[in-house]
Amino acid sequence: MKTQDYISREEQYLAYNYHPLPVVLNKAEGVWLWDVEGNKYLDFLSAYSAVSAGHVNPRLKKALIDQLETLDVPSRAFYTDKLGLFAEKLCKVTGMDKMLPMNTGAEAVETAVKAARRWGYTKKNIPSDQAKILVSSGNFHGRTTTIVGFSSDDEYKENFGPFDGGFDIVPYGDLDAFEKAASNPNVCAYITEPMQGEAGIIIPPKGWLKSIQEICKKHNVLLICDEIQSGIGRTGKDFAFQHEIDRPDGLILGKALGGGVYPVSAFLARADVMDVFNPGSHGSTFGGNPIAAAIGIESLNILEEEKLAERSAELGAYTIDKIREMNSPLVQDLRGAGLWIGIDIDPTRASARAVCEALKLRGLLCKETHETVVRLAPPLTITKDDIDWALSQIQNVFKLMEQKAAA
Ligand SMILES: *Cc1c(COP(=O)(O)O)cnc(C)c1O
């Protein structure tokens, strides 16, 4: 079978909820991917930052296989020898007190919503069913109906309503608007990405999160950071909140927590927030199973021992500098934190999709977010040589498209 045959089969039997680049992959190792025709590509998406430790990382592979050969999924009707270890390690690395394990990111966000509301009713004495959660404009927190209900992007929610409410959107980065919203006594929490991923790698002004935390403290509002994409070294710190604050009141992790090989997510919180849960109030059949726990532990070991955050900070700064030096008229704006870089492409010259398709033809796989942003997010294990190779492909594509735009 050829590329087009695989694509046709997917188109026939799959819901059309993704618009993939026309490449059919069948092999991966480290930072490299191969397609069914034997072409080799450098992965500059990392499965939306899930594969931060590289594809088929030998340590994660070993953790997965060793665990599968001893104990797989007994459910949380019983204790296991792994889950406590994972929770202890994750709490120590993040500075949080307690964790609640789930599988996908959206489930961990749902967990945070539940925790925030229960805390609001039982600890802040918000009248029954009146709790409000603040969220940011441009947010992305997943795809469940509750979560898309508070998206500011119509594409995510069109014809999926009715939505239940209970969320207010505040402009991302606007402290005055936030303080006004947070002073409503029915507000229990602010759930936000400390830096926004799907919105196009949006980095708020320096000092923003610190000020947000002060306002939250003043009005007794929980600050809950969604670091599903920004966490585990991506932004040049272990967690993006560490650029500004010691710790939030709640923290949501996913994606790279499972090393890109297994869905592992978690909600973490201060003890007095997590204590709102009691047996029967929440759960997940697969959440915290020994395989997930073993992989989670090893992901955190890799983060520390392979210094992923330091690598990300150093190589990210290098990459941004080099792209800036290209001085391409295609680049309208360039921003990033660590190896998490957004390039705004001037829409009068090219679409971000066209740039990604041209990069694909040169062996570099990345994906646009919205119409105008090219996101660069390679595995954090990447070498400087491989980055240099990617930069030369980017340079070539920019030149090619500048000529096209001029013609
Ligand atoms: C990917 C993502 C999610 C959703 O995670 P899923 O595992 O796809 O459910 C939530 N929040 C952020 C910031 C994300 O990047």
Q: Are residues 259 and 357 in the same domain?
A: no
Q: Looking at the structure, tell me whether residues 68 and 122 fall in a common domain.
A: yes
Per-residue model confidence as pLDDT tens digits over 208-257: 999 999 999 999 999 999 999 999 999 999 999 999 999 999 999 999 99
| Same structural domain, 320 and 396 | yes
Give the number of the atom of ligand 1 that is nearest the alpha carbon of residue 49. 15
**Average pLDDT over every residue of 250-269:** 97
User: Looking at 289, 305, 321, which one is the last position of a domain?
Assistant: 305
Catalytic sites, residue numbers:
140, 226, 255
31 token code pair: 């930072």
CATH classification at residue 174? 3.40.640.10
- Taking only the tens place, the pLDDT of each residue in 296-306 is 999 999 999 99
Q: Provide the sign of the torsion angle of the four alpha carbons 156, 160, 161, 167, taken in this order.
A: negative
* pLDDT digit string, tens, across residues 63-96: 999 999 999 999 999 999 999 999 999 999 999 9
Q: Report the C-alpha gap between 96 and 90 in whole angstroms.
A: 8
Q: Is the model's pLDDT at 97 over the cut of 80?
A: yes
> Domain containing 312: what range?
3-56+307-406
Query: Ligand 1 pocket, 282 CB below 6 A?
Result: no
For residue 230, the CA-to-ligand 1 centroid distance in Å is 10
Residues 270 and 381 in one domain: no
Q: Which residue, chain included where needed, has tokens 């397609």?
A: 35
* pLDDT beyond 80 at 407: no
- Tell whether ligand 1 has an atom less than 6 A from the beta carbon of residue 138: no
Confidence (pLDDT) at 170: 98
Of ligand 1's atoms, which has the minimum distance to the CA of residue 254?
7
Report the C-alpha gap between 172 and 55 in whole angstroms.
33
- In the sheet that holds 331-336, the strands lie side by side as 331-336, 341-345, 373-376, 367-369
Q: What mean pLDDT comes out for the span 350-374?
A: 95
Asked if residue 404 has pLDDT above 90, the reply is no
For residue 153, name the pLDDT band (cuts at 50, 70, 90): very high
Pocket-testing residue among 46, 140, 201, 227, ligand 1, by greatest number of atoms within 8 A of Cβ = 140
Asked whether residue 17 falls in the same domain as residue 84, the answer is no
**Helix runs in 257-383, H state only:** 271-274, 290-305, 308-326, 352-361
Q: Which of 17, 229, 230 to mutate to test the pocket of ligand 1 (most atoms within 8 A of CB)?
A: 229
Choose the final residue of a domain: 273, 288, 305: 305
157 and 294 fall within a common domain = yes
- Residue 74 tokens read as 């007994």
- Is the C-beta atom of 193 inside 6 A of ligand 1? yes
- Domain boundary (284, 305, 326) is at 305
Looking up residue 42, the CATH number of its domain turns out to be 3.90.1150.10
pLDDT for the residue 223: 98
Q: Which amino acid is at 358?
A: A
How confident is the prediction for the chain on average, in pLDDT?
A: 97
| 320 and 398 housed in the same domain | yes
Residues 6+ apart with CB under 8 A from 50: 255, 256, 258, 259, 260
Indicate the DSSP class of residue 101. Answer: E
Kindly report the number of other CB atoms within 10 A of residue 346's CB atom: 15
Residues 261-283: what's their mean pLDDT?
97
Please give the distance, rounded to the nearest whole angstrom, from the Cα atom of residue 105 to the centre of ligand 1. 5
Rounded to the nearest angstrom, the distance between the alpha carbon of 52 and the centre of ligand 1 is: 15
Q: Are strands 265-269 and 40-43 parallel, antiparallel or unpaired?
A: unpaired
8 and 84 in a single domain? The answer is no
* pLDDT for 362: 97
Residue 141 near ligand 1, beta carbon < 6 Å: yes
Domain identity same for 127 and 226: yes
Structure tokens at 148: 């898309």
CB of 189 within 6 A of ligand 1: the answer is: no
Q: Are residues 168 and 246 in the same domain?
A: yes
Mapped onto helix, strand or coil, the DSSP state of residue 139 is coil
Nearest CA to ligand 1 atom 11: 141
Residue 128, pLDDT above cutoff 90 = yes
Q: Spell out a b/e string for 55-81, using b for 16 or more CB atoms within 10 Å of the CB, else e.
A: bbbebbeebbeebeeeeeeeebeeebe
| Cβ proximity of 119 and 276 under 8 Å | yes
Residue nearest to atom 10 of ligand 1 (CA): 141
The pLDDT value given to residue 370:
86
- How many residues are there in the chain? 407
Residue 285 burial (C-beta neighbours within 10 Å; 0-12, 13-18, 19+): exposed
Q: Which pLDDT score, from 0 to 100, does residue 202 have?
A: 97
Q: How far is ligand 1, taken at its centre, from the CA of residue 175, in Å?
A: 25
Q: Given this model, what pLDDT does residue 262 score?
A: 96
Residue 405 — very low, low, confident or very high, per pLDDT cuts 50/70/90?
A: confident
Please determine, for residue 36, whether its predicted confidence score (pLDDT) is greater than 90: yes
Residues 316 and 381 reside in one and the same domain: yes
144/247 same-domain check: yes
Asked whether 192 and 226 are in contact (CB, 8 A), the reply is yes
Contact in structure between 248 and 225 (CB atoms under 8 Å): yes
Percent helix / strand / coil, the chain, rounded to 5:
40, 15, 40
Q: List, for residues 368-392, the tens digit of each pLDDT value.
A: 988 899 999 999 999 999 999 999 9
The phi and psi torsions of 373 (rounded to 5 degrees) equal -110, 130
Q: Which amino acid is at 127?
A: P
Tally of domains within the chain:
2
Q: Judge if the beta carbon of residue 258 lies within 6 A of ligand 1.
A: no
Segment (H or E) for 12: helix 3-13
Q: Which atom of ligand 1 lies nearest, measured to the CA of 252?
A: 11
**Helical H segments across 161-239, by residue range:** 175-182, 208-218
